[in-house]
Amino acid sequence: MGLVLNFIFMFAVPVLTAEYQNTQIFRSWQDPLMWVFFAYPFILGIVAAYLWDIVEGKLKGKGNQKALDFAKLYFVIATIPGMFITYTSFQVSLLMVIAWTITG
């Protein structure tokens, strides 16, 4: 779904294509800090599983409703701050950050 939305954004807002081609916004692959880039999904998975153990009993509804409520909670506590940090630390437009937030 995110891939489809990305293509829609690219055609609807062509300026985003130019931003994707700007290589100056990203760190070099030789930068040791890039190891964090690869470790991040594993760390995030462990933290999300731990958080799920804590909040699962407090969420109301059946399995799917609990998962949706957890996803909304996760979006608020992880995605929004993450996109704020992205906007403040990378040389990208607010439009690009909004597109990334929507498309995942």
pLDDT at position 65: 92
Q: Contact 16/42 with Cβ under 8 angstroms?
A: no
pLDDT at position 5: 80
Listed by start position, the domains of the chain span 2-103
Confidence of residue 90 (pLDDT cuts 50, 70, 90): confident
Q: What angle do CA 93, 96, 97 make, to 5 degrees?
A: 95
* pLDDT tens digits along 40-72: 888 888 988 998 899 888 888 888 999 899 899
For the segment 73-84, the average pLDDT, to the nearest whole number, is 88
